[in-house]
Amino acid sequence: MASSSMKPMRSQVEEYIVSLQYQIVSAFETLDPAAPPFKRDSWVRPQGGTGQSCVFACATDDVSVAQQTVLEKAGVNISIVHGILPPAAIKQMRADHSAMPLPDRPEGLPFFAAGISLVIHPRNPNAPTVHANYRYFEITEPVEAGSDKGTSEPKVLAWWFGGGCDLTPSYLFEEDAIHFHSTLKKACDKYGPELYPSFKKWCDEYFYIPHRNETRGVGGIFFDDLNLGPHARLSSPNSPDAARRPTSPAEIFAFVQELGNSFVPSYLPILTSRHFLPYTPLQRRWQLIRRGRYVEFNLVYDRGTKFGLMTPGARIESILMSLPETARWEYMCELGEEGTEEGKLIEVLKKPREWV
């Protein structure tokens, strides 16, 4: 399966995520040139595929040194992998992608997956954490024993794009949420008027912590199973009154690139304006408590974490890269009461708001 380009889609996606990773990491290193550079860690997956993790960490016992960096922990990772999905991973994928046709094969299904995933945890409690990932996945026809694998590209049985970007502040600055959502909406609106409202709602629903009765942050967009077929959250492309939306492989890939390219302008202005603000020990304490909520979602509910851990050859360091360096859990914490700055955030987390 290819777009209007002569290259297979998997090759186009690979080239794009390599370029986007470089663009994003360079932007953070330019913002804080005195900080240590991101660690580049290239790896090879024995079962098939490669990747590169770009991770920032400044772990030190010297507080005066640590507090000089804009970021506390960050990772911008890409992976381009292929192989066979085992039955456990197929079962999880069927649950997560009910609209996708996945054949029954007890010996597993050949797959290819490529994507970029990033999480940025700034040091200053006034600067929000941000997460984004954009990915392409395809299931291919099994290659029969004795056949020549090199004669042609494998036949694609199912393919889809997914991704999203969301903002998780410790303290609520409404103008930051408005800027973030406005940038994503502008990117979505180029490809159809129903994309942003549908994917914004999906984001609020997905990044929800049921046992806390609150969302993880102030939202953004989230989508999955985007291909040229019908979509449960979007109007049918064959309907006479359907809203304009990307329907071809080329259009869908262009849409994903538009979103990927919007990451830096959506987030970097916020980080630039917040990272230098003074903060108190109480604000730092609240930041660590909010990070505890971040950990709870990622380890208990995030389906990407679950799927990654079920995949053979899973690279645990990359999967758990999203977790903050430090977090906190307090018994019956008194922070977050109504009328406080912490309470302002909780109010929005319990009742998601339309920002644009």
Residues 6+ apart with CB under 8 A from 285: 328, 335
The Cα–Cα gap between 23 and 35 comes to: 18
Do 170 and 287 touch, CB atoms closer than 8 A?
yes
The Cα–Cα gap between 324 and 4 comes to: 40
**Which among 131, 179, 181, 231 is annotated as catalytic?**
131
The Cα–Cα gap between 39 and 41 comes to: 6
The Cα–Cα gap between 17 and 132 comes to: 13
- Helix (H) / strand (E) element for 350: namely helix 341-350
Cα separation of the two ends of the chain: 36
Q: Strand pairing partners for 139? A: 111, 158
Residue 24 CB coordination number (10 Å): 24
Q: Identify residue 100 by its one-letter amino acid code.
A: M
The Cα–Cα gap between 215 and 168 comes to: 9
The Cα–Cα gap between 9 and 1 comes to: 6
Do 325 and 73 touch, CB atoms closer than 8 A?
yes
The Cα–Cα gap between 217 and 250 comes to: 32
Do 279 and 38 touch, CB atoms closer than 8 A?
no
Q: Identify residue 234 by its one-letter amino acid code.
A: L
Do 9 and 108 touch, CB atoms closer than 8 A?
no
Query: Is 131 designated active site?
Result: yes
Query: Annotated active-site positions, please?
Result: 131
